[in-house]
Structures are given as structure tokens and as C-alpha cells.
Structure 1
């Protein structure tokens, strides 16, 4: 399952608050239509098949078909010159 660092949780919390999303909203991660890349978007609510990750005020929704791809990864966030940047890192075997 995908896990979130504290930085990622803070970034998601900030993005959803800035966007004015209600408690049901969050960031959604899904594969692009051609299934070659991941895309993130702000959504008002998850799709029924999405998997929710994170805490109540920092919710990340992972599409059902994307969940196996992100299994065993950690989502992190950091400030970049262009704004908040997210990255994925594989978890070690002990994670």
C-alpha cells in the first residue's frame, strides 16, 4: 500500500485547503489514459473504486488500477522553485 510522509501530508492538506475542498475531497493519483504515466489531480470526492490513503485532513485517493503500481512506495513532497513537488520512492524490504 502507498504511504505518505509527513511532508506529503502537509502538502496535500495545504493544496486541498487552498482549493476550498470539503472534507470529502483530496488528491487523486491515477494512471494516464495510455497507462504510461501517473497523474495527480484535486478532486471533490473519490470514485467508489478508489483506495483512500492518509489522514482525514490529508486524503490521497488512488485509483483501483493504479493501486498495485504504487504498492510498496512512499509519497513525499518538497518545495521547489516551481512550487510543491511530489516524488515516489520504493520502500525497503523492511518497510
Structure 2
């Protein structure tokens, strides 16, 4: 299952705390490069896998859940204050 770093937990929680039940949704794209889309959404979709960690909620569609099963989500802010996410292997 996808794990979140402390930074990712803090950032996801802070950007989604405006709306109860909101979270970061990661979804697989039909593109051959395997890219994922990320969006702040008010609630999970029916088939989403929901990961909750210390108040941070991440919703994964089926494709993203399979792709990220052995991964870690990290997050940080760039010099302009924009959130950037990174994914790496667990362990």
C-alpha cells in the first residue's frame, strides 16, 4: 500500500483541511508514459482506495493503487510556494 512521508502527510492535510472529507486524488492516465494526475477533490469516488494518515487523505483510482502499491509519496514546496510531489520505492 502507498505510504506517505511526514512532509507529504503535512502538506496533503493542510491543502485538504478546508473541506471535511476532502483529499488528494491520484488517478492513472491513459497515456503510455504512465503519468498520474493529481487533484484536490471533495470526496473519494466509489471505487477509490482511501489512504488516511494523521488526518491526510489520499484517494487512489484502481490503476494508481496498483501502480503505487510499493511506493512512497513525498511532497515539498518549491521557492515559489508551489507544492511538488515525488514518488519513490518503499524501503
TM-score when scaled to structure 1? 0.84
Q: How many residues align?
A: 89
What secondary structure does 2:9 align onto?
helix
Deviation (angstroms), 1:14: 1.1
Deviation (angstroms), 1:85: 1.0
TM-score when scaled to structure 2? 0.87
- 1:40 match: 38
Q: Unmatched 5+ residue regions in structure 1?
A: none
1:26 aligns with one of 4, 23, 28: 23
Deviation (angstroms), 1:56: 5.8
Q: Unmatched 5+ residue regions in structure 2?
A: none
Deviation beyond 6 Å, 4+ runs, structure 1: none
**Over the residues paired in the alignment, what is the CA RMSD in angstroms?**
1.5
